[in-house]
Amino acid sequence: MEEKKIIFSGIQPTGVFTLGNYLGAIRNWKNLQNEYNSIFCVVDLHALTVRQVPKDLRHQTYQAYALLLACGIDPEKALVFVQSHVSGHTELSWILNNYTYFGELSRMTQFKVKSQKHEDNINAGLFDYPVLMAADILLYQANLVPIGADQKQHLELARDVADRFNNAYSPTFAVPEGYFGKSGARVKSLQEPTKKMSKSDTNDKGYILLLDSPNVIRKKFRSAVTDSDARVAYDPENKAGIANLMEIYQAITGESLEAIETKFEGQGYGAFKDAVADVVIGELEPIQKRFEELMSDKKGLEAIMKEHAEKASRMAVKTLRKVKKKIGLVQV
């Protein structure tokens, strides 16, 4: 257990996860928990950087937590907790603020994009978001961080801050690396198949949510954008919609793209779309069932949250003690 590398990742509780989150990230996390000391965090404090409706945030936090477990993150194997339950995150974040430059944060692409999107609320939290993320990672001495391409710049910042601190004092933090698993599927929007599938898409037909009913899933696949070629063939350049559906089918069944082409040769897109819907519905059915069970027992869920928050806090405190000592804070 001790020699295993530590892997840390976080996910925001800003709505039901999409099929893209599942095939691209969460499903892989499930496999990582056997190989690594895995830590998964529902980052509710990060969600505060844009205005949330309190009762929705509360509900979505339970939901995100239950979904992680329902997707196969096993609380016996991995540490799964809610960020705000471990006060070390904000504490370390404040300290690290003093080792992060205004210029660095100003260069963050996500900050620029989000400032445009939330023009009326460009708050300090939005600006400081990457420092909280660095604290999440460094607090647990994480070696590996599974992330999507959009978080690379933030991870780079976490590495720089860790190095800066280690050099200023003495080795204190593990310097984390990105973990880009084998082929975490990059699921695209069903309506604009050149863009990533995203729950913030204004057209809800573009994404499949993990809690969508079988009927809704089928409808969304039926209305997925394709082309007029009518051949199930893998050609991401010219047939992005079909390529996306083939990748989804492949990610779930494990069949090769060639095998899928052969299987659906001579069949129309209608039949193929229904087949994709079938495998997705089949994959999500046990997850949805487990999710309902977990959500019907909030007390049970809270007990797991609490136990894991306590374990996480113990790890966090160790790092914080070291940090405080090195920078000259008095501890009694």
For the question of residue 220 being annotated catalytic, the response is: no
Cβ closer to ligand TRP: 52 or 288?
A: 52
Q: Are the C-beta atoms of 301 and 309 separated by less than 8 Å?
A: no
* Annotated active-site residue in 114, 188, 239, 273: 114
For the question of residue 205 being annotated catalytic, the response is: no
Q: Interhelix angle for 298-327 vs 54-70, to 10°? A: 100
- Asked whether position 319 contacts ligand TRP by CB under 6 A, the answer is no
Q: Which of residues 256-295 bind ligand TRP (CB under 6 A)?
A: none
Structure-token pair, residue 181: 């698993």
Compute the chain's Rg from CA coordinates.
21
Which residue in 23, 67, 145, 316 binds ligand TRP (CB under 6 A)? 145
Q: Which of residues 43-62 bind ligand TRP (CB under 6 A)?
A: 43, 46
Cβ closer to ligand TRP: 145 or 276?
A: 145
Cβ closer to ligand TRP: 10 or 88?
A: 10
For the question of residue 112 being annotated catalytic, the response is: no
Structure-token pair, residue 110: 């996500």
Which residue in 100, 151, 191, 226 binds ligand TRP (CB under 6 A)? 151
- The least distance separating ligand TRP from the CB of residue 188, rounded to whole angstroms, comes to 18
Window of 6-14, 232-240, 283-291, 316-324 that interacts with ligand TRP by CB under 6 A: 6-14
Window of 2-10, 95-103, 211-219, 310-318 that interacts with ligand TRP by CB under 6 A: 2-10
Structure-token pair, residue 171: 């080795």
- The least distance separating ligand TRP from the CB of residue 268, rounded to whole angstroms, comes to 38
What type of residue sits at position 124? A
Q: Are the C-beta atoms of 283 and 252 separated by less than 8 Å?
A: yes
Cβ closer to ligand TRP: 132 or 260?
A: 132
**If you search the block for the tokens 């374990």, which residue do you land on?**
311
- The least distance separating ligand TRP from the CB of residue 25, rounded to whole angstroms, comes to 9
Provide long-range contacts, Cβ within 8 A and 24+ apart, for 274-280.
Answer: 274/218, 274/221, 274/222, 275/249, 276/221, 276/245, 276/248, 276/249, 277/217, 277/218, 277/221, 277/222, 279/248, 279/249, 279/252, 279/253, 280/19, 280/208, 280/217, 280/221, 280/248, 280/252
Cβ closer to ligand TRP: 175 or 233?
A: 175
Residue 176 region by backbone torsions, left for phi larger than 0, else alpha for psi between -120 and 50, else beta: beta
- The least distance separating ligand TRP from the CB of residue 220, rounded to whole angstroms, comes to 23
- Asked whether position 136 contacts ligand TRP by CB under 6 A, the answer is yes
Structure-token pair, residue 254: 């494990």
The footprint of ligand TRP on this chain (CB under 6 A) covers a number of residues equal to: 13
Q: Which of residues 23-42 bind ligand TRP (CB under 6 A)?
A: none
| CA dihedral angle for residue 108, residue 103, residue 130, residue 122, rounded to 10 degrees | -70
Contacts of 72 (CB under 8 A, 6+ apart): 27, 30
Q: Which residues are catalytic?
A: 114, 196, 199
Contact positions vs ligand TRP (CB under 6 A): 8-10, 12, 43, 46, 133, 136-137, 145, 147, 151, 154
